[in-house]
Structure 1
Amino acid sequence: MIKAAEELTERLTREGKEVDTYIVGRKGVAYYTFRERKVTESWGGFTDSPTYADAKKIAGPLIEAVLKDTAEGGVDELHIVFTEFVSMLTQTPVKDRLLPLSLEEKAEEQEKKGEILPLYDFEPSSEDVLDALLPRYVEARIYNALLQAAASKHAATRRAMKSATDNAEELIKSLTRLANAARQADITQEISEIVGGASALADASAGSD
């Protein structure tokens, strides 16, 4: 995921954009801190079991930065990088743009087919509706990313623990066989020494007779 974030940063930089970095999680913070990279804001301590309140806490500064003018330190685009949970065996890094939203223009296709386009009335205005929904949208996307990352982390941990358990069981079996072989060798040696001693005593007794 960090590699994916680095690739995204490099691409945006090549496009002439200045990147402000927001990080969630100790690993990412440690990575950027060690390399003395600038981090605008960071969060941690809840990634194992995130809640919607955590997502709102993260989304707040991001939404504020989006709504602020770039001349005053605001941002034009909002990107997110996280680990997507595909299955217990597969977790993949995802790079996605949250804002601005991408709209697919289908009006021309519908007009060609002779379809009547629906008309909508917004109350309050469409701008007010969008302003109200925008924070919820960002919060929901961030919450989904937190859940995906947490599930991916737990899946990787479980897989690592299973591998460690299997290796430990195999090591126990191997050491048990070695211990049994060593014990059998000791027993065989003791029996040989006893038999040899008894034979020597018998020979000594026969010689004295």
Structure 2
Amino acid sequence: MVGSYNSNVIRETNQFIENHSGSNDYQILAVGGTGSDFYRKRGTNVAYEYRGVSDVPTFNEVRQIVKMVTTMYNKGEFDELYVCYEHFVNRLISRFRAEKMLPIDDEAIQSQASQDIKVKPMTAEYDVEPSEKEVLNVVLPQYSESLVYGAILDAKTSEHASSSTAMKSASDNADDLISSLELQYNRARQAAITTEITEITGGQEALSQQ
């Protein structure tokens, strides 16, 4: 029971696909069974799915996902990868995000950073050892892992918040229903007692007149 969480994510993702350039040629890489089942039933190409994400996702789970999608990207199975999820704002509000994960470029990094803090363009030059390429070969996979891990944690937080809100609403509705039924029961019980008293009183009067 997660309220409208899943339907919101799917609706916003579909809208993003429609608005994104070149959206006629796309495939879905689904984390979780709901999205995978939804797109498979509609004949969409679900190229990869990961089911059974734990309530508290571990970094090893994310590393497995990132390794697979990175391999697919390197094989040329797709040329861009966006992570679509619900960003947690508070218990009542979450906002859809679609973050570019691959290819990693300056624009994507600046866009990701600007969502959390204000950043200024870097103009300084640095000497890198052993080399820029070797450093990036280590840093970029870690960046991808942290991006996906953060998105999954964010999405899970939004899911739990939506579930909590939905369950509270269901509990409140159940309490209201119980109160209403108790009131109806008490009224019916009172009416039955009144009827019995009336019948007993009427019987006594009839006997006294004999």
TM range (shorter): 0.7 to 0.9
The CA deviation at 1:47 is 4.6
Identity of aligned residues (%): 35
- Structure 1 counterpart of 2:105: 101
The yes-or-no answer on 1:34 pairing with 2:41 is yes
Structure 2 CA distance for aligned equivalents of residues 16 and 191 of structure 1: 76
The structure 2 residue matched to 1:85, chosen from 65, 88, 100, is 88
Please give the secondary structure, in 1, of the residue aligned with 2:49.
strand
Structure 1: segments with no counterpart, 5+ residues:
108-116, 205-209
* Alignment partner, residue 198 of structure 1: 204
Q: Give the direction of change, closer, same or farther, for the CA distance of 1:62–1:195 in structure 2 (3 Å limit).
A: same
Whether 1:119 aligns to 2:122 is no
Alignment coverage as a number of residue pairs:
190
Matched, 1:5 2:10: no
Q: Are 2:86 and 2:154, in contact at CA under 8 Å, matched by a contact in 1?
A: yes
CA distance in 2, matches of 1:97, 1:150: 19
Query: What is the root-mean-square deviation in Å for CA atoms of aligned residues?
Result: 2.0
| TM-score, normalised relative to structure 2 | 0.83
Give unpaired runs (5+ residues) of structure 2: 1-8, 111-119
Tell me which amino acid in the other structure corresponds to 1:4. Answer: E
Q: From the superposition, tell whether residues 87 and 101 of structure 1 become closer, same or farther in structure 2 (CA, over 3 Å).
A: same
Task: Describe the superposition over 1:47-100 as per-residue Cα deviations: whole angstroms up to 9, x where unpaired.
Answer: 5321111110110022223334x3xx3x33221101111100011211111233
Q: Deviations over 1:90-137 (max 9, x none)?
A: 112111112332346947xxxxxxxxx533111111111111111101
Partners of 1:81 and 1:142 in 2: how far apart? 10
TM superposition shift of 1:20 = 3.1
2:170 aligns to what? 164
State the AA in 2 paired with 1:140: S
Distance between the aligned counterparts of 2:190 and 2:24, measured in 1? 73
Separation of aligned partners in 2, 1:77 and 1:86 = 27
Larger radius of gyration: 1
**TM-score, normalization: structure 1?**
0.83
Name the SS for the 2:106 alignment partner.
coil
